[in-house]
């Protein structure tokens, strides 16, 4: 029987999501998580592949607005819920879903698509490049000390109900979005993701707790949400602090929150897994080795409409280069483009017949797009080729950002 791909109807959601859970191994999510994802699903942007009345394939998209270098919020399709039934794998179902999505994103005028991958090897063939990394730390707080900047002691820390403090925490989050590429402006209900707290998500720890840092005038300037995992043996307690998220508006608030987490009694370590790679905590600790830093790929970026995407961000230095782009999956992006940016960083990207200065594929542009991965490092791996001397350094400097791009949450 031929497979049929259709837009998801609201009353098909449960069957569709059951299929997705099966594709991921069949462990059911908590009802709390499931209900939230049901509310977040954009049905008209969700695709289901049917073999008769059995759902065998799925892919969805969220309508994100992604922060890019320069602070603009750019429409980006957040690709999600991709799964193919174990009975139907390796016969092109994913490829057909990616094809349909890419054509839809283009028709809808979204210059970018982004995703977090279950396995990083899947999406390169569709033109996605790793655009951000995230940092995990597991800090031995019995040995590592923190040095804190002036102003830290002036802040008041208050333990609050995570639900009640949500509006204040969200105000802090909203202020950070335009400062850091890779973050998404909150859409309705997305703030609930950080409050999910079913026992299955606690990793043996306590229910979620929230501490806020306040200035003298009562303004909240940072927060941390975390769990404490008790662990006792014959020598006493070896508890762990498991950080869910920590966001702060200034160095004093950042340091005050980390210090609070470090000093929780009966704990020996602080673990945080979803941090930016330039997290200030790396510079606050006395012994970075004992913070056990580790990085992994996070957000994968795909330029759907190349000139619109490249013009939507700003550049850190004036630029005038011709790039020869290979993009077999989206041939409308293929060919030679002149990218020029003025002293303010504002850019124009137009087709040209002039000789190329750099040669690369759309994947490398996706990797460099948010400013965290340099074109120079990609060239060192042979993935960008310089055809005019000096063009690589010029372009690499212009694309690179001061702040590491970061997506604080999965989706």
Ligand X SMILES: CC(=O)SCCNC(=O)CCNC(=O)[C@H](O)C(C)(C)COP(=O)(O)OP(=O)(O)OC[C@H]1O[C@@H](n2cnc3c(N)ncnc32)[C@H](O)[C@@H]1OP(=O)(O)O
Applying CB under 6 A, which part among 84-92, 184-192, 226-234, 392-400 lies near ligand X?
84-92
Residues touching ligand X, count (CB under 6 A): 22
Under the binding rule (CB under 6 A), the answer on residue 129 touching ligand X is: no
Nearer Cβ to ligand X (94/102)? 94
| Residue pointed to by tokens 């909203």 | 174
Nearer Cβ to ligand X (80/269)? 80
Alpha-carbon distance 195 to 254, whole Å?
A: 20
Question: What's the closest the beta carbon of residue 302 comes to ligand X, in angstroms?
Answer: 11
- CA distances from residue 382 to 256, 326, 351 in whole angstroms, order as listed: 44, 14, 25
Question: What's the closest the beta carbon of residue 189 comes to ligand X, in angstroms?
Answer: 19
DSSP structure class, residue 249: S
Under the binding rule (CB under 6 A), the answer on residue 92 touching ligand X is: yes
Question: What's the closest the beta carbon of residue 383 comes to ligand X, in angstroms?
Answer: 18
Q: Give the residue numbers marked as catalytic.
A: 123, 411
Give the torsion sign (CA, 387, 392, 398, 403). positive
Under the binding rule (CB under 6 A), the answer on residue 298 touching ligand X is: no
Would the annotation count 119 as a binding residue? yes
Give CA angle at 259 (256, 260), nearest 5°: 85
Under the binding rule (CB under 6 A), the answer on residue 24 touching ligand X is: yes
Applying CB under 6 A, which part among 86-94, 214-222, 315-323, 395-403 lies near ligand X?
86-94
- Residue 289 tokens read as 């080795």
Would the annotation count 74 as a binding residue? no
Under the binding rule (CB under 6 A), the answer on residue 39 touching ligand X is: no
Of 253, 250, 202, give the one whose Cα is nearest residue 224. 253
Applying CB under 6 A, which part among 68-76, 81-89, 193-201, 386-394 lies near ligand X?
81-89
Nearer Cβ to ligand X (82/301)? 82
The DSSP bridge pattern shows strands 209-214 and 384-386 to be: unpaired
- CA distances from residue 233 to 207, 215, 237 in whole angstroms, order as listed: 22, 39, 6
Under the binding rule (CB under 6 A), the answer on residue 3 touching ligand X is: no
Under the binding rule (CB under 6 A), the answer on residue 109 touching ligand X is: no
Let me know: does 131 contact 405? Beta carbons within 8 Å.
yes
Nearer Cβ to ligand X (115/183)? 115
Backbone angles phi, psi at 67, to 5 degrees: -75, 130
Alpha-carbon distance 210 to 293, whole Å?
A: 24
Question: What's the closest the beta carbon of residue 97 comes to ligand X, in angstroms?
Answer: 8
Let me know: does 85 contact 22? Beta carbons within 8 Å.
yes
Cβ-based burial of 155 (10 A; exposed 0-12, middle 13-18, buried ≥19): buried
Would the annotation count 15 as a binding residue? no
Under the binding rule (CB under 6 A), the answer on residue 118 touching ligand X is: yes
Applying CB under 6 A, which part among 113-121, 200-208, 308-316, 362-370 lies near ligand X?
113-121
Nearer Cβ to ligand X (2/389)? 2
List the one residue from 38, 91, 156, 409 that touches ligand X (CB under 6 A).
91
Write out the residues near ligand X by the rule CB under 6 A.
23-24, 79-84, 89-95, 115, 117-119, 121-122, 125
Binding residues: 82-84, 90-95, 118-119
């Amino acid at each position: 029987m031929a497979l049929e791909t259709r837009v998801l109807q609201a009353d098909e959601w449960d069957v569709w999501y059951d299929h997705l859970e099966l594709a991921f191994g069949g462990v059911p999510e908590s009802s709390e998580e499931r209900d939230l994802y049901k509310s977040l699903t954009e049905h008209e942007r969700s695709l289901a592949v049917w073999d008769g009345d059995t759902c065998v394939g799925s892919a969805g998209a969220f309508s994100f607005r992604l922060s890019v270098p320069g602070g603009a919020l750019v429409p980006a399709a957040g690709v999600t819920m991709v799964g193919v039934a174990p009975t139907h794998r390796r016969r092109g179902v994913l490829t057909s879903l990616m094809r349909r999505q890419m054509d839809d994103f283009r028709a809808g005028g979204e210059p970018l698509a982004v995703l977090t991958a279950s396995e990083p090897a899947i999406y390169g063939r569709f033109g996605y490049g790793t655009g951000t990394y995230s940092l995990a730390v597991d800090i031995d707080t019995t040995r590592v000390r923190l040095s804190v900047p002036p102003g830290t002691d002036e802040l008041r820390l208050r333990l609050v109900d995570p639900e009640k403090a949500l509006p204040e925490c969200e105000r802090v989050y909203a202020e950070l979005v335009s400062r850091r590429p890779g973050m998404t402006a909150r859409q309705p209900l997305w703030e609930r993701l950080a409050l999910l707290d079913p026992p299955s998500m606690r990793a043996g720890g306590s229910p979620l707790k929230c501490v806020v840092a306040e200035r003298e005038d009562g303004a909240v300037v940072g927060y941390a949400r975390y769990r404490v995992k008790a662990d006792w043996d014959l020598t006493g307690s070896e508890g762990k602090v498991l950080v869910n998220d920590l966001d702060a508006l200034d160095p004093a608030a950042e340091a005050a929150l980390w210090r609070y987490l470090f000093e929780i009694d009966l704990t020996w370590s602080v673990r945080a897994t979803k941090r930016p790679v330039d997290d200030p905590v790396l510079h606050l600790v006395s012994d970075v080795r004992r913070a056990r830093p580790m990085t992994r790929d996070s957000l994968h970026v795909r330029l759907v409409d190349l000139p619109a995407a490249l013009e939507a961000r700003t550049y850190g230095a004036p630029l005038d280069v011709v790039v020869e782009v290979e993009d077999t999956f989206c041939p409308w992006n293929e060919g030679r483009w002149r990218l020029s940016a003025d002293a303010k960083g504002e850019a124009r990207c137009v087709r040209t017949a002039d000789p190329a200065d750099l040669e690369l594929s759309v994947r490398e542009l996706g990797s460099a797009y948010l400013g965290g991965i340099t074109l120079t490092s990609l060239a060192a791996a042979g993935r960008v080729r310089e055809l005019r001397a000096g063009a690589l350094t010029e372009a690499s400097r212009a694309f690179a950002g001061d702040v590491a791009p970061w997506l604080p949450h999965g989706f």
